[in-house]
Amino acid sequence: MATDNQYSMQNPLTQYPQPEFPDQPQSAPGTVHKLHPAADHGETSYKGFGRLAGRKALITGADSGIGRAAAIAYAREGADIVLNYLPEEESDAREVVQLIEAEGRKAICLPGDLKDERFCQSLVSQAVERLGGLDILVNVAGKQQAVEAIADITTEQFDATFKSNVYALFWLCKAALPHLPAGATIINTASIQSYSPSQNLLDYASTKAAIVAFTKALAKQVIAQGVRVNAVAPGPIWTPLQPSGGQPRDKIPTFGSQTPMGRPGQPAECAPLYVFLATQESSYITGETFGVTGGTPLP
């Protein structure tokens, strides 16, 4: 259940739902409409202040979860947006389009599979053409599938996880950089798994650790052209990724309870960081990773 005003002072422990949650298996990639309780993506809670007026953003994974929350927030801050997602996530994405257009901003849907290098290149070129430029790249889309033992991780899954989470990041950044002007930003999505990996997320945690290193190295490489690169590292966030295979089914009822706050985070609690890192307010920040972890500290 979403809070109507995330700007009023509240106890963060009780601001959003706490475990236990009902059993709720989904087929991948999942949908926001089968989450119980419903997730807050900022649909009613996020208020914009015009901090991204006139900006042009490409957001992957924009149909649900953190990507959906970032898209809503960016639109309310004044940005036009290209949304990427898988074709089977079209219905969720169309809801985001309506929310963006309600703010008077442009929403362009370019669905497709980021595991395909040619599609990643096409996605960037189409985004530049349709938006009339590009100055924010937000990499959120990712694959997470819990498997208890290395013996049961197939080469196909390992390859798909790295293609989705690392190769796509590389392809998109490489394609976007020639188009990014000074002042532009790239925001990647790491994870607490980058630093404190769960035994059943071996391949996923490895990709997220790679994203932290990628972010630091690329930031050093491109700051000379005035482009900043940072990452957000969420902890347990209440998204369709979790009940659609991202966590074992028996872990969903208590999901997030291990954090000091005793609950999972909501996508709307991540969105302000994605906004901050895209604005000029963060002009002296690059190569950093910011945790949104409910009190579990990053190293």
The candidate with the shortest Cα–Cα distance to 244, out of 119, 142, 160, 138, is 142
With b for 16 or more beta-carbon neighbours within 10 A and e for fewer, the 233-245 pattern comes to: bbbbbbbbbbbbb
The backbone torsions φ and ψ at residue 57, rounded to the nearest 5 degrees and listed phi first, read -120, 145
Residues constituting the chain: 299
- Strands (E) in the chain, as ranges, are 56-60, 80-84, 107-109, 136-139, 185-189, 228-234, 289-292
Cβ distance 100 to 72 under 8 Å? Answer: yes
Burial class (CB in 10 A: 0-12, 13-18, 19+), 152: exposed
Let me know if 195 is a catalytic residue.
no
The backbone torsions φ and ψ at residue 206, rounded to the nearest 5 degrees and listed phi first, read -65, -40
- Residue 172: beta bridge partners? none
Tell me which of 16, 204, 274, 284 is the catalytic residue.
Answer: 204
Cβ distance 114 to 143 under 8 Å? Answer: no
Q: What is the distance between the alpha carbons of residues 173 and 190, in angstroms, rounded to a whole number?
A: 15
Task: Provide the 10 A C-beta neighbour count for residue 253.
Answer: 13
Catalytic residues: 204
